[in-house]
């Protein structure tokens, strides 16, 4: 039930728009995602999200009781799916596993160097000190992409291009982790020759059948 303070917050919101249901929720998610990419997790505030979405804080808290829940939902809203990241691809039979992995690496790099990457960096930094956040990040974002890469490695095993021992969750984490480390943690640009080095010096030797 709304309190007097809730009502006051709604009235004080900057020029509220008469949106309801899914339209309002999407506007809040979009505003939260924009806020996260610009200021990071530490400076992220529900007040600023409410201003961006042109609604009141009470409208947000009724749907997302905590800042953490709002941030994760905003990331899920703004983060590309595994398909959009290029991790789930309709690989032509003529395409080798090595070439398919190179395309995946380019797709991951594009995403990580976009505004989405800034949002993910903010959340991953918070996850270092928040076990619940770390678990949710893995469940919502990393696990689907891990499974997609495992599918590509399994295809490689069937084609005789990937050694069976390399078809593991740990190996599937290597490529995204190396790209994320350079872009999100070290904040260094990732050029084409960097990707080629990752593939030729690490990823391909790690998985290829002998």
Exposed, middle or buried: residue 75 (CB in 10 Å: 0-12, 13-18, 19+)?
A: buried
Exposed, middle or buried: residue 163 (CB in 10 Å: 0-12, 13-18, 19+)?
A: middle
Of the two residues 62 and 186, the one the predictor is more confident about is 62
Of the two residues 69 and 12, the one the predictor is more confident about is 69
Q: Could you give phi then psi for residue 19, rounded to 5 degrees?
A: -110, 150
Is residue 208 classed as helix, strand or coil in its secondary structure?
A: strand
DSSP 11-75: HHSSS-----HHHHHHHHHHHHHHHHHHHTTTT--HHHHHHHHTS-HHHHHHH-SSHHHHHHHHH
Could you tell me the pLDDT band of residue 13, with boundaries at 50, 70 and 90? very low
Q: Are 120 and 75 in contact (CB under 8 A)?
A: yes
For 6-15, 64-73, 90-99, 173-182, which range has the lowest pLDDT when averaged over its residues?
6-15
Q: In this model, does residue 8 exceed pLDDT 60?
A: no
Of the two residues 191 and 2, the one the predictor is more confident about is 191
For 9-23, 25-39, 68-82, 88-102, which range has the lowest pLDDT when averaged over its residues?
9-23
Provide the whole-model pTM: 0.70
Q: For residue range 104-124, list pLDDT tens digits in order.
A: 888 888 887 877 777 777 777
Residue written as token pair 């800042």: 67
Nearest to 155 by CA among 144, 145, 164: 164
pLDDT of residue 85: 61
Of the two residues 172 and 19, the one the predictor is more confident about is 172
Could you tell me the pLDDT band of residue 18, with boundaries at 50, 70 and 90? low
Q: For residue range 37-59, list pLDDT tens digits in order.
A: 888 888 899 999 999 999 999 99
Could you tell me the pLDDT band of residue 210, with boundaries at 50, 70 and 90? confident
Task: Give the HSE-up count for residue 82: Cα atoms under 13 Å, Cβ half-sphere.
Answer: 18
Tokens representing 67? 């800042």
Q: What is the largest CA-CA distance in the chain?
A: 71
Q: For residue range 153-189, list pLDDT tens digits in order.
A: 999 999 999 999 999 999 999 998 898 888 877 777 7
> What is the set of domains in the chain, with CATH numbers?
4-78 (1.10.10.60), 97-207 (1.10.357)
Q: What is the pLDDT of the chain when averaged over all its residues?
A: 82
Tokens representing 6? 């809730």
What CA–CA distance (Å, rounded) separates 96 from 92? 9
Q: Are 85 and 107 in contact (CB under 8 A)?
A: yes
């Amino acid at each position: 039930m709304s309190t007097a303070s809730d009502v006051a917050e709604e009235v004080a919101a900057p020029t509220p728009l008469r949106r309801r249901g899914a339209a309002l929720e999407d506007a809040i998610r979009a505003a939260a995602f924009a806020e996260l990419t610009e200021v990071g997790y530490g400076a992220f505030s529900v007040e600023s999200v409410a201003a961006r979405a042109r609604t009141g804080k009470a409208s947000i808290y009724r749907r997302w009781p905590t800042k953490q829940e709002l941030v994760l939902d905003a990331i899920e809203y703004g983060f590309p799916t595994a398909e959009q990241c290029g991790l789930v691809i309709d690989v032509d039979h003529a395409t080798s596993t090595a070439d398919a992995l190179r395309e995946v690496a380019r797709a991951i790099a594009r995403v990580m160097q976009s505004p989405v990457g800034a949002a993910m960096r903010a959340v991953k930094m918070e996850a270092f000190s928040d076990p619940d956040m770390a678990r949710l990040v893995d469940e919502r974002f990393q696990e689907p992409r891990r499974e997609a890469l495992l599918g590509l490695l399994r295809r490689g095993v069937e084609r005789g291009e990937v050694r069976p021992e390399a078809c593991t969750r740990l190996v599937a984490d290597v490529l995204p982790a190396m790209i994320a480390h350079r872009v999100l943690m070290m904040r260094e640009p990732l050029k084409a020759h960097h990707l080629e080095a990752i593939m030729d010096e690490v990823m391909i030797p790690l998985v290829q059948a002998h």
